[in-house]
Amino acid sequence: MKLPASMRAMVLDTGQNRLQLKQLPIPQPSPQQLLIRVHACGVCRTDLHIVDQELTEPKLPLIPGHEIVGTVVLAGEQTTRFRPGDRVGVPWLGYTCGECRYCRKGQENLCDHARFTGYTLDGGFAEYTVADQRYCFHLPPGFDDTKAAPLLCAGLIGYRTYRLAGSQIEHLGIYGFGAAAHIVTQIAVHQGKKVYAFTRPGDTEAQDFARRMGATWAGASTEMPPHPLDAALIFAPVGELIPAALQATDKGGHVVSGGIHMSDIPAFPYRLLWEERKVSSVANLTRRDGEELLDLAHRVPVHTEIETFALEQANEALDRLRSGRIEGAAVLVMD
């Protein structure tokens, strides 16, 4: 197949906090990599943390984007799982060493030598990208490219956060109602749980959105829910939500933060934690999380709500995400 000489990409460069449209050479796949024609790439809060320099170790210059859906155009000589023409999904976890003590324990999400798509590896805010086939996913039918993109991080990380909260949950709180929350809500409701959605005070649009996705109740993060929570998931990067969620959580309850970055957690009285309440966090994903979530998304089935932007509108999509003005997930569409 004949490839063009160059591609368009949105690039973060040293000292910049806006992405710039550039014309770059098309990357060459190494033996384990696929060259992928990108059709859609989700825009995630993590991309925002990178551009806003709250995550401090990106490769630079960097092509962000780690919710990539595309078609394989070239497969490296050692690839076995994909062939040219296959549809492929590329997530945040782009490489692990397979040898460190975390990898050996089945915790590849904590690998000491992990590399991450759109952070320490170039990602999908571009017309083409390369990705290690061992970390790529086959995507379920029934999701077009733009609708599948948010599953690859919002869905995956949301699912891991939900799973870590435990299985004995009847009343589930979700703080921050964006891309991850709207996917997790559908899964939780499908599994018979009651979801209580908490948003920024006064954000009645997000509260309406949460109810449409199946939430039993939606209100401000400063309110107490009508029933104590068995667990709470936090998807907004706001440290104050940890004590707020503990306050709303019943004895033995679990508060799990799904974000990669959060503002400082204010001091709070021990009684909020007492009675065997727990606070924990989720980091990255394992390939097993991905397989489970994609299977579940197909069976529920999950309907992702998206707003699409052209590649060169990536900054606008990030601005809208920063100010909380995206319902569901933002997705860049390349063609």
Q: Which residues bind Zn ion (CB under 5 A)?
A: 44, 46, 96-97, 100, 103, 111, 153
User: What torsion do the CA atoms of 307, 313, 314, 315 make, to the nearest 10 degrees?
Assistant: -120
Q: CB of residue 230 vs Zn ion: minimum separation in angstroms?
A: 26
Q: What are phi and psi of 211, to 5 degrees?
A: -65, -40
- CA dist., res. 69 & res. 145, Å (int): 6
Q: CB of residue 146 vs Zn ion: minimum separation in angstroms?
A: 16
What residue has token string 């809060």?
45
| β-bridge mates for residue 172, sequence order | 195, 231
CA neighbor of 94 nearest in space, from 60, 139, 124: 124
For Zn ion, give the closer residue by CB, 26 or 41: 41
Tokens (6 digits) for 198: 């908490």
Q: CB of residue 112 vs Zn ion: minimum separation in angstroms?
A: 5
Pairing of strands 33-43, 68-75: antiparallel
Q: CB of residue 107 vs Zn ion: minimum separation in angstroms?
A: 9
- CA dist., res. 113 & res. 78, Å (int): 22
For Zn ion, give the closer residue by CB, 26 or 260: 260
Strands (E), the chain: 6-11, 20-25, 33-43, 68-75, 87-90, 93-95, 115-116, 128-132, 171-175, 194-199, 217-220, 229-234, 249-257, 278-281, 306-310, 329-333
For Zn ion, give the closer residue by CB, 100 or 164: 100
Q: CB of residue 285 vs Zn ion: minimum separation in angstroms?
A: 9
Q: CB of residue 91 vs Zn ion: minimum separation in angstroms?
A: 8
For Zn ion, give the closer residue by CB, 100 or 220: 100
For Zn ion, give the closer residue by CB, 73 or 100: 100
| β-bridge mates for residue 310, sequence order | 333
For Zn ion, give the closer residue by CB, 241 or 285: 285
